[in-house]
Amino acid sequence: MSQYILRRLMIAIPSLLGISLVLFVVLALAPGDPFGELATNPNVPPEVQAALRAKFGLDDPIYLRYLHWLAAMAQGDWGFSFVSRMDVDTLILQRLPTTLYVIGSAQLLALLIAIPVGVYAATRPYSIFDQIANTFAFIGFSLPTFFTGILFILIFSVKLDWLPFVYSTDIKATGIAWALEMVRQAIMPVMVLGLFQAASMTRFVRSAMLDVIRLDYVTTARAKGLGQAKVIVKHVMRNAMIPVVTLIALQMPAVFGGAIVTEQIFRIPGIGSLLISSILANDTPVVMAVTFVFACLVVLFNLIADVLYGWLDPRISFR
Amino acid sequence: MFDKDLRTMIDDVKDGRMNRRAFVQRMIAVGLTAPMANQILSIGGVAMAQSPNPYKPTKRGGGGPLKLLWWQGPTLLNPHFATGTKDQDGSRLFYEPLASWDADGHLNPILAAEIPSIQNGGLSKDAKTVVWKLKPGVKWHDGKPLTADDLVFNWEYAIDPATAAVSGGTYADMTVEKVDDLTIRITFKQPTPFWANAFVGAYGCIIPKHLFAEYKGSKSREAPNNLKPVGTGPYKFVEFKPGDLVRGEINPDYHMANRPYFDTLEMKGGGDAVSAARAVIQTGEYDFAWNIQVEDEVLLRLEKGGKGKTLYAVGGDIEFIALNFTDPNVEVDGERSSMKTKHPILSDARVRKALALLVDRESIKKVIYGRAGRTTANYLNGPEEFVSKNTKWEFSIEKASALLDEAGWKVGGDGVREKDGKKLKLLYQTSINGPRQKTQAIVKQACQKAGIDVELKSVVASVFFSSDVANPDTYSKFYADIEMFQIPMTQPDPALHMRRYHSREVATKENKWQGRNFPRWVNKDFDAAVDAADTETDPLKRADLYVKSNDLMWQDTVVIPVMHRAAVEACSNSLRPALSGWANQTDNLQDWYRES
């Protein structure tokens, strides 16, 4: 087992190097300039802009810039933001808690809805409950988050005036009041993201359950006289969850990566909004760090998913 | 002009025979307006009137929180590194300049004890030196006193190329020396009629020597205070999250009486302009939102909610279409739009004039810019004394068609004009931005009616405005026939605004397209006028020179002004901000208060 994990980690290194190279080259080839905003400002002579480019090494050849970046990354230096003139890791760590809180809650909400609804719908396929659940699931994943987000804002903030639509990281309260306000402002973004996720996940859980529920061993379990609840939870769900675990494990990096559109709509200062503003400002070091960390997380969670398979189904062996 | 009369009048004001108000009114009567009249008095030897912003609160603090919404949040808080206005606005919450520009384009003293003038000995007659006196008793937020050493240090810091400060240009071509603890003298290399650039406005914010002295030059980015400002401003720094949030609290030792009004300050970043307007005007979650570039129609609808309104600050920002004088489709020595070529179509002045006749500015204002725009024929639209009255514009497809006929462009079978077998086809580029694409459509439609085939192209703003030498789509390379964008006027003086079209500024491969004259227009009279204005110390003659250079651009149709744009802000009904089209929104923050 530990040998297996070690081997997988070793294999990950060349693929991460490859990913970083591709990312870096694509970003370097992408047009744009972090100091573009200076261009139309008559107060700033063009030489200043040129000096800035030279200072931040933007005029060096690509391979040299990549090697610099790689050497720094190997030493744990994530780079230095052109735009904020501060270390990229500080910038990312500042954004991480908010992202984890909002996106994590949304994922949790999605799971809490999807698993019970999916399982229950699968036990009674084509019943009224199943039909309704299916209809909502279709509506849910047909509506993009930028639409539901704005719809929620119009209904709950503008018309009803119940919830704030600007997410604030600085709530002037302590204790219970602080916690309540944190929950209150997260309701809309969490709902928007959570319901969107839940919709597709419900469909997934349902079909995974249906695949298993018709198998012979389930009939055997029922024939043994086991109760419905026990059959479903112990016999069907455990086996049906294997593909669901993969799906969730692959979703996990997104919890760290943030949700670009939703974060922008609700002004949530998460990783997603950092990524998009850095892309727009051509702040390559930040974009590079965020996407690379994201790539690492994907590799890591793939590994975790593989390990979890073994736990869920001991027949899968690690070789 | 009326030079002699004016001198007598200035003397009258000096000796008290005529009051300032009467003088300003006489000036207005002859077609000049208040800011100009005041500038004249200033150089003519009368202390410049300060028009303090109305401020009612009678005690410091007690105003509760002030919540600002900047849809692009500040990403750094050192004024010398402030790349965009968002960063300048954020830095300005804590740092202060010697003086700021008020709504009328007057200097309003902040850290200065008084505004330099010839009368108080602050300005020399040859316009080569300025003496600034600091207000005594001003303290940094950490309790250390502000002295002339800090000012000298800011100049040294900015001009050191290793610091990589964007303010370097503001402090170039001058030396700054300490006269005594509270006085500095700026000596310019050349007569500089517009002396109020260094230490004034956004790039004039002063950082403390005792915290930054060690971080001058190549170590500049290591300074811990780049992210934790210690300034002299009305609010003290509390917290900063780049792109997201800046927080401040009242400075109880602020150097102006009864100011500031608010107890805490918050500047939230992120999102988009429409929802920012909504959070202020419709739901009232925030007090003030910056730069609301939203169609007027949307704003009018939001304003029906009644919690807030939009405010307009008029400066000199101009949205315009520039015409290419060189050929973008022919490559000479590896360079397109080379100075060795001539534009095959646009080098004919009649075609350029016809294009100007095809820009329906009134419709563009009505449909797109609404209250945030003014139609104009001029490239230079402020301050008032520099605005030409000799120009005019009109929209007429018939006249344009007649001009094109005259130039030999005959309507072909497909409705597109042609000459010598060549079609009249133009490539029209701009950056991606809702109003710009709509403007493109309006212009294209009119051109089609006149028989010009216009191809539209839009480039992402971050590419269009980049200085990336390898990219063909930047505005300075100008590989198109005509292009449109906005050039802001960052100070109430046209020197930098007009110098751009000087022939030595032409953008070429040789200067890596860093030259700012991107239409590549060359005119000796214009060069001479702008050069003369740079050192002309007589304000009237200087204004005439700029009016003349504007008129030359108009006669030659170098650019087609589309809209003179005002800055649009959203503001809650109770807030009383002090805004100016000549300054950043937070420049007069100490004067903001709330009407109860």
CB atoms within 10 A of CB B596: 7
Which residues in chain B show pLDDT less than 70? 1-52
Note whether A269 contacts B244, CB cutoff 8 Å: yes
Chain B residues touching residue A158 (CB < 8 angstroms): 278, 282-283
Q: Rg of the Cα trace of chain A?
A: 24
Q: Are B319 and B486 in contact (CB under 8 A)?
A: yes
> Smallest CA–CA separation between A146 and chain B, in Å?
12
With contacts defined as CB-CB under 8 Å, which chain B residues touch A34? 83
ipTM over 0.95: no
Contacts of B239 in chain A (CB under 8 A): 170
pLDDT by residue for chain A (319 residues), tens digit each? 778 888 888 888 888 899 889 988 888 887 767 776 666 666 677 777 777 777 777 777 888 888 888 888 888 888 888 778 788 888 888 888 888 888 889 989 999 999 999 988 988 888 999 999 999 999 988 888 888 888 998 898 888 888 888 888 777 777 888 888 888 888 999 998 888 888 888 988 998 888 888 888 888 888 888 888 888 888 888 888 888 888 888 788 777 776 788 888 888 888 888 888 888 787 888 888 888 888 888 888 888 888 877 777 777 766 5
Question: Do B102 and B51 form a contact (C-beta atoms < 8 A)?
Answer: yes
Q: Do B570 and B308 meet the contact criterion of CB atoms below 8 Å apart?
A: yes
pLDDT on residue B289 = 93
3 state DSSP class of B78: coil
* Phi and psi torsions of B455, nearest 5°: -100, 130
Nearest chain B residue to A281, by CA: B462
**Residues in chain A within 8 Å Cβ distance of B170:** 43
Instruction: Please tell me the distance from the alpha carbon of residue A101 to that of residue A106, in angstroms, as a whole number.
Output: 8
Average pLDDT taken over every residue of chain B: 87
* Chain B residues within 8 A of A280 when measuring between CB atoms: 462
Nearest partner of A170 among A247, A83, A269, judged by Cα: A269
H or E stretch at B540: helix B539-555
Note the pLDDT of residue B44.
Answer: 46
- Which pLDDT value is given to residue B354? 95
Coil/strand/helix, residue B377: coil
Alpha-helix runs per DSSP H in chain A? 2-29, 46-55, 62-74, 88-123, 128-142, 145-152, 175-213, 216-223, 228-230, 238-257, 260-266, 271-280, 284-312
Residue B47 has a pLDDT of 43
- Residue A48 sits at the chain B interface (C-beta within 8 Å): yes
| DSSP structure string for A170-207 | --S--HHHHHHHHHHHHHHHHHHHHHHHHHHHHHHHHH
3-state secondary structure B293-352: CCCHHHHHHHHCCCCEEEEEEEEEEEEEEEECCCCCCCCECCECCCCCCCCCCCCCHHHH
Nearest CB among A36, A48, A265 relative to B466 is that of A36
Report the Cα A75 to chain-centroid distance in Å: 26
Contact B109, B98 (CB under 8 A): yes
Which chain A residues contact residue B240 at CB under 8 A? none
Best of A37, A87, A151 to disrupt the B interface (most B CBs within 10 Å) is A37
Report residue B319 as tokens: 């949205």
Contact B485 A37 (CB under 8 A): no
Asked if B275's CB is within 8 angstroms of A265's CB, the reply is yes
Measure in Å the smallest separation between the Cα of B474 and chain A Cα atoms: 9
Closest CB to B285 among A166, A169, A277? A166
Q: Which residue of chain A comes nearest to B465, CA vs CA?
A: A36
Q: Taking Cα atoms as reference points, which of B83, B461, B65, B87 lies closest to residue B269?
A: B87
